Amino acid sequence: MAAAKLTPLGIAVLELLHERPMHPYEMATLMRERYVDTRVNLKAGSLYHTVERLHRSGFIEVVDTQRDGRRPERTVYGMTQTGLDEFNQRARELLGDVAKEFPAYLTGLAVIDELGLEATLKELETRLMRLRAAVASDRAVLQRLTDNEIPDIYWLDWRYQCDHRQFELEWTERLTEDLRSGRIPFQDHQPPKLTLITEEDDDERKTS
């Protein structure tokens, strides 16, 4: 049976195992320290489930067990050659392919006219407040990374997220002002007039 495609969390686990064998608790700690949890859904249950699945698929293997006092025994995993091959293949796909994604914000933007001006402006102001706080936090983290002289190659994903958040903030500020000023007028939920192509029209096109 073919192994399942690596998930973002699976990629993150194998990324860490490039450095050295680790147990899941250490993986989780490092992911949070390195802000990996901003790009993958990191929960204790999902991490252990992912590690088990990687093990069943032959991508990682048990290399050691550790016991610290009375704490439960910890299993240390290392990456196999199969795991390395799969990691490299999936990494190429993630970088080279343009995936079709469906951000929730796009759906919200699509129903603004139905929501109405007052409610729309209220929700956009809430979004702007949260985005401004996030951008300020991003800047603090970026400054810390710069001060610690962390090589850029290790936080390209974080820089992308920060730039994307800054873009969303500026775009939403412009949208809010356009809606408030009337430069983008509401249509009072009137559907656009669309011309339907009838069978007769289609036949006429074919014969013309």
The string of pLDDT tens digits covering residues 49-92 is: 999 999 999 999 999 887 665 666 789 999 999 999 999 999 99
Report which residue type is found at 136.
Answer: A
* Model confidence at 2: pLDDT above 80: no
Residue 41 — very low, low, confident or very high, per pLDDT cuts 50/70/90? Answer: confident
Long-range contacts of 23-27 (CB under 8 A, 24+ apart): 23/66, 23/74, 23/75, 23/76, 23/77, 24/48, 24/51, 24/74, 24/75, 24/77, 25/74, 27/51
Asked whether the CA dihedral 53, 59, 62, 67 is positive or negative, the reply is: negative
**Is there a contact between 179 and 117 (Cβ–Cβ < 8 Å)?**
yes
Q: What percent of the chain has pLDDT over 70?
A: 86
3-class state of residue 182 by DSSP: coil
Q: Residue 45 pLDDT more than 80?
A: yes
Q: What is the pLDDT of residues 86-130, one digit of tens each?
A: 999 999 999 999 888 889 999 999 999 999 999 999 999 999 999
pLDDT in the model for residue 206: 52
Q: Mean pLDDT for the chain?
A: 87
Q: Which residues on neighbouring strands pair with residue 77, listed in sequence order?
A: 22, 62
Judge contact between 11 and 91, C-beta under 8 A.
Answer: yes
In this prediction, residue 191 carries a pLDDT of: 61
Tokens of 4: 């399942």
Residue 196: predicted pLDDT: 59
CA distance 128 to 149: 31
**What pTM value is reported for the model?**
0.76
Give alpha helix (H) positions in the chain: 8-17, 24-33, 44-56, 81-96, 104-110, 112-115, 117-147, 156-181, 199-207
The Cα–Cα gap between 50 and 72 comes to: 20
pLDDT, mean of residues 2-12: 81
- pLDDT tops 90 at residue 154: no
